[in-house]
C-alpha cells in the first residue's frame, strides 16, 4: 500500500478506517453511470421494486447506514414522496466505508486540437496523483439503476494540477480531441481495445482492487463496475442473462436452445451489457458510456475569485478583476506561437504544433497566479482544456454562474454553481452537508440530488424522444396505407401507456428551496431536457388532433357506408312491396268487394278504380317501409354495421 501514499508534494488522505475531514483545495468528483430499466433483467427490477426497498436495504451490506445518514438530507431539500412513500433509494457496494485509493496518471505531454490548431502542454514528468474513491448504487423510481463513483483529490494551485483536473473532465467528455480512425465504419466506444483518442488511450488508473497493472481509465471503470454488479446480481440471485422485460418469446426460446448446446467458455462484462453508449457529437464516430458528472470544489481562493467582495463585504464585479489589459498578453503570446509553428511546419513539411512548455506555465504560476486561476476556472466550467487561449470577455462569460444570479443572492450565497451540457460544478468555502456526505457518498448530498434527478430526467426524456419519433413514423405509415383505424388505435395505445409512464416517472422541480430549484431548472435547460419535453409535448398534441380528425373521417366513412346500405335495403323493400301489391290486384281487381274489404272503403262507384287503388297502396306501403327502415337503422343496422365494417377494415 506504500505506493498509494501521496508523493511529489501531494497532500495525502488519512487511513481508510477513520472518518475523513474535508479540507481546503479538495475536488470531489462524482462520475454517474445510468442503466436504463429495459437493460436490466426483469427479475432484478422486480427485486429492486420500491415495495421491497426496506427489505433490500436491510439485507445488503451497509445500505442501512447509507440510508439513515444520506436520505434524510435528501428529504430536507426535496419532496420526493408519491402515494405516501419515496420510491428512490441508495444501495451500498462491497468494501470499506471510506473506499480505496486510486492512482490516476496523465502523460507528461497533453495534445489537443482546437480551431484548426494542434497544441501541446509539456511537463517534466507524467502527472500521477492519488485520489480517494467511493462507490454506491442509486435505484430510480422507474426501475432504472445508476452507479456512482466518487473521487476526492487534494490539489495545489499549480499548472500540473490544473491540467490534471481538466483531464478528469476530458476523459469522460473528450471534446477538443481528434479520433484517429478510418472515415467510415461503426461507432467506436470508450473501451475499444485499439481506440486512438488521447484521453481515453493515454490516461490510466489503478487501485488495490483492480490489480498492480495500470488500466486505461475506462477499463478501470469497467473493472470496478463489473465487480460490484456481479456482487449485486449474485446477492439478488439474478443472472445477467435472465430475460429482460422487453425480450420477445423467440429471443427467449433461442437463448434456451443455445444453453443446451456445448459452447466454449466466455467471459462476459456487466459493463458492456448494461451500460449503453450514446454518440458523442463533438467527436464524430465516437460513442461514450451513458454518464454525467458532478464536480465539487472546496476551495476558499476559488470561491473568492468567483464571488469577489469589497473591503466592507459587498459584492464586487468580476469585471474589475478581469480586464482586457491583463489577458491580451496571453492571446498575443498564443498568436506568436501559432505563427512560429506554421512557419516551422512549412519548412519541415509537418503539421503545425504549438508547444506550451512547463517553463512558461511555471512562470505564469509564479508571476500571475490570479490570472492563471481565472484562466483555469473559465476553461474548466466550459470543459475547455485550451484555457490559456482566452480573452477577458470569454473568462467573464464562463465565470458567470447559474447561481447566484443576483446581487441579493450573492450576499447570501455559500456556494457558486455552474453547468455545462454534461456536468454540474459547484464551489464552496466549506460545507457542513459535504462533511456529512463525504464519508458515505463522497460528495455533498444536496448537490448530488440535484445532479441525480437531472440525470434521471435527461435520459428519461431521451428515451421518450425515441418513442415519439417511432410513433410519428408508425402513424405516418398507417395513414399512407389508409389504415385509419389502426393509426388511431396506435396513438391511443401510446397515450395510455408510453405517455402515461413518461409523465409518471419524470420528476417535476421537486426542490423546496430556491437555491436548488433554480439550479435544477437551469441544469435541465442546459442539457436540453426542458426544450425536448416542450417540443415533444407539442408533437403529441398535434398527433392527438390528427387522431381526432382520423376518428371523424372514420365515422364519416362508416356513416356513408351505412347510409348506402340502408338506402339499398329500402329501395329493395319498396320494390318488393310494389310487386306484391301489383300481384294482388292482378288477381282481385275485378272484384270490388275485395277492394272494399282491403281498404275498408267502397270504391265500386269510382272511375279508374285500378289506378287509384294502386296509387293509394303504393303511398301507404312507402310510408310503412320508411318507418321500418328508420327503426331498423338506429336499433339494428347501425350497431351491427359498425362492427362489421371495423372487423373488415381490421383484417385488411
In this prediction, residue 634 carries a pLDDT of 65
Band (pLDDT 50/70/90 cuts) for residue 599 is: very low
Would you kindly state where each structural domain of the chain is located, as residue ranges?
2-245+268-443, 460-552, 555-651
pTM of the shown model: 0.84
What's the average model confidence in pLDDT over 201-205? 97
Report pLDDT for 241.
78
Q: What is the 3-state secondary structure (H, E, C) of 244-285?
A: ECCCCHHHHHHHHHHHHCCCCCCCCCHHHHHCCEEECCCCCC
Using CA atoms, how far apart are residues 324 and 372, in angstroms rounded to an integer? 14
Tell me the C-alpha to C-alpha distance, in Å, between residue 163 and each of 167, 211, 387, 392, 484: 6, 26, 9, 20, 60
Write the DSSP symbol of residue 39: G
Residue 389 has pLDDT above 50, yes or no: yes
Band (pLDDT 50/70/90 cuts) for residue 409 is confident
How confident is the model at residue 371, as a pLDDT?
96
Residue 506's Cβ-count burial label (10 Å; 0-12, 13-18, 19+) is: middle
Q: What number of CA atoms fall less than 13 Å from residue 448's CA on the CB side? A: 30
In the predicted structure, residue 597 carries a pLDDT above the cut 70? no
Whether 607 shows a pLDDT value over 50: the answer reads no
Q: When comparing pLDDT for 409 and 647, which is higher?
A: 409
Return all residues near 296 (Cβ < 8 A) that are at least 6 apart.
Answer: 27, 28, 29, 30, 425, 426, 427, 428, 434, 443, 444, 447
For residue 416, what are the β-bridge partners?
427
Tell me: pLDDT of 337 over 80. yes
Say what percent of the chain tops pLDDT 90: 64
pLDDT value of position 263: 42
Helix (H) or strand (E) holding 112: strand 109-114
Q: 160: which 3 cell numbers? A: 500540473
What would the mean pLDDT of 137-159 be, rounded to a whole number? 98
Mean of pLDDT values over 442-448: 98
| Residue-level pLDDT at 579 | 67
Q: What is the mean pLDDT of residues 179-191?
A: 85
Ranges of beta strands (E only) in 402-517 are: 415-419, 423-428
d(CA 420, CA 528): 11
Strand 26-35 vs strand 291-298: parallel, antiparallel, or unpaired? antiparallel
What would the pLDDT profile of 97-128 be if each residue is shown by its tens digit? 889 999 999 999 999 998 888 999 999 999 99
What pLDDT score was predicted for residue 342? Answer: 87
Q: Identify the top-confidence range among 61-75, 329-343, 396-410, 474-488.
A: 61-75
Euclidean distance between CA atoms 417 and 518, whole angstroms:
11
Could you report the per-residue pLDDT of 466-484, keeping only the tens digit for each?
A: 999 999 999 989 887 777 7
DSSP 132-185: EEEEEEEE-TTS-EEEEEEEEEE--SSHHHHHHHHHHHHTTS-TT----S-SSS
Does residue 452 carry a pLDDT above 90? yes
**Average pLDDT rounded to a whole number, residues 590-599:** 51
Element (H, E) at 114: strand 109-114
Q: What is the mean pLDDT of the chain?
A: 86
Is the pLDDT reported for residue 601 higher than 50?
no
pLDDT in tens, 226-273: 999 999 999 999 998 777 655 444 455 444 544 444 443 445 799 999
Average pLDDT over residues 345-359: 87
Distance (Å, whole) CA 113 – CA 101: 32
For the segment 314-330, the average pLDDT, to the nearest whole number, is: 92
The terminus-to-terminus CA distance of the chain in angstroms comes to 73
Amino acid at each position: 500500500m506504500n505506493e498509494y501514499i501521496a508523493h511529489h508534494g501531494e497532500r495525502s488522505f488519512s487511513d481508510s478506517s477513520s472518518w475523513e475531514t474535508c479540507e481546503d483545495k479538495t475536488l470531489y468528483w462524482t462520475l454517474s453511470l445510468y442503466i436504463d430499466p429495459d437493460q436490466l433483467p426483469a427479475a432484478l427490477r422486480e427485486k429492486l421494486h420500491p415495495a421491497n426497498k426496506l427489505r433490500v436495504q436491510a439485507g445488503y451490506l451497509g445500505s442501512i447506514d447509507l440510508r439513515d445518514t444520506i436520505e434524510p438530507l435528501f428529504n430536507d431539500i426535496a419532496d420526493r414522496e408519491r402515494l405516501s412513500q419515496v420510491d428512490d433509494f441508495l444501495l451500498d457496494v462491497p468494501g470499506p466505508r471510506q473506499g480505496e485509493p486510486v492512482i490516476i496518471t496523465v502523460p507528461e505531454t497533453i495534445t489537443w486540437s482546437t480551431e484548426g490548431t494542434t497544441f501541446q502542454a509539456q511537463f517534466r514528468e507524467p502527472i500521477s496523483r492519488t485520489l480517494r474513491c467511493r462507490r454506491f448504487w442509486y435505484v430510480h423510481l422507474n426501475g432504472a439503476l445508476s452507479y456512482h463513483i466518487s473521487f476526492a483529490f487534494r490539489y495545489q494551485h499549480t499548472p500540473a494540477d490544473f491540467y490534471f483536473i481538466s483531464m478528469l473532465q476530458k476523459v469522460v467528455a473528450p471534446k477538443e480531441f481528434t479520433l484517429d480512425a478510418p472515415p467510415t465504419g461503426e461507432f467506436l466506444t470508450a473501451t475499444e481495445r485499439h481506440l486512438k483518442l488521447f484521453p481515453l488511450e493515454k490516461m490510466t488508473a489503478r487501485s488495490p482492487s483492480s490489480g498492480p497493472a495500470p488500466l486505461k481509465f475506462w477499463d478501470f471503470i469497467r473493472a470496478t463496475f463489473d465487480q460490484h454488479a456481479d456482487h449485486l446480481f449474485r446477492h439478488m440471485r439474478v443472472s445477467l442473462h435472465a430475460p429482460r422485460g422487453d425480450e420477445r418469446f423467440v429471443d427467449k426460446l433461442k437463448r434456451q436452445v443455445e444453453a443446451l448446446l456445448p459452447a466454449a467458455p466466455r467471459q462476459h462484462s456487466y459493463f458492456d451489457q448494461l451500460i449503453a453508449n450514446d454518440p458523442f457529437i463533438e467527436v464524430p464516430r465516437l460513442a461514450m458510456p451513458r454518464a454525467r458528472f458532478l464536480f465539487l470544489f472546496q476551495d476558499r481562493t476559488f470561491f473568492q475569485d468567483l464571488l469577489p467582495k469589497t473591503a466592507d463585504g459587498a459584492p464586487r464585479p468580476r469585471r474589475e478583476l478581469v480586464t482586457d489589459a491583463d489577458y491580451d498578453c496571453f492571446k498575443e503570446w498564443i498568436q506568436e506561437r501559432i505563427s512560429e509553428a506554421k512557419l516551422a511546419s512549412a519548412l519541415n513539411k509537418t503539421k503545425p504544433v504549438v508547444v506550451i512548455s512547463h517553463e512558461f506555465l511555471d512562470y505564469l504560476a509564479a508571476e500571475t497566479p490570479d490570472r492563471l486561476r481565472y484562466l483555469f476556472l473559465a476553461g474548466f466550467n466550459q470543459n475547455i482544456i485550451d484555457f490559456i487561449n482566452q480573452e477577458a470577455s470569454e473568462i467573464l462569460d464562463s465565470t458567470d454562474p447559474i447561481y447566484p444570479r443576483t446581487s441579493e443572492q450573492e450576499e447570501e450565497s455559500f456556494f457558486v454553481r455552474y453547468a455545462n451540457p454534461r456536468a454540474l460544478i459547484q464551489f464552496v468555502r466549506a460545507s457542513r452537508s459535504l462533511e456529512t456526505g463525504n464519508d458515505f457518498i463522497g460528495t455533498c448530498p444536496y448537490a448530488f440530488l440535484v445532479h441525480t434527478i437531472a440525470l434521471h430526467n435527461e435520459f428519461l426524456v431521451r428515451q421518450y424522444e425515441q418513442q415519439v419519433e417511432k410513433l410519428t413514423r408508425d402513424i405516418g405509415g398507417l395513414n399512407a396505407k389508409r389504415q385509419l383505424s389502426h393509426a388511431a388505435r396506435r396513438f391511443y395505445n401510446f397515450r395510455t401507456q408510453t405517455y402515461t409512464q413518461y409523465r409518471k416517472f419524470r420528476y417535476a422541480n421537486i426542490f423546496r428551496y430556491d437555491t436548488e430549484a433554480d439550479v435544477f431548472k437551469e441544469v435541465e435547460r442546459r442539457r436540453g431536457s426542458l426544450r425536448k419535453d416542450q417540443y415533444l409535448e407539442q408533437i403529441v398534441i398535434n398527433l392527438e388532433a390528427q387522431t381526432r380528425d382520423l376518428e371523424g373521417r372514420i365515422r364519416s366513412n362508416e356513416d356513408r357506408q351505412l347510409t348506402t346500405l340502408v338506402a339499398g335495403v329500402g329501395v329493395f323493400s319498396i320494390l318488393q312491396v310494389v310487386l306484391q301489391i301489383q300481384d294482388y290486384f292482378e288477381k282481385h281487381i275485378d272484384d270490388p268487394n275485395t277492394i272494399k274489404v282491403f281498404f275498408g272503403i267502397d270504391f265500386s262507384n269510382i272511375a279508374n278504380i285500378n289506378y287509384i287503388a294502386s296509387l293509394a297502396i303504393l303511398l301507404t306501403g312507402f310510408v310503412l317501409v320508411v318507418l321500418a327502415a328508420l327503426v331498423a337503422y338506429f336499433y339494428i343496422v347501425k350497431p351491427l354495421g359498425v362492427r362489421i365494417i371495423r372487423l373488415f377494415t381490421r383484417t385488411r
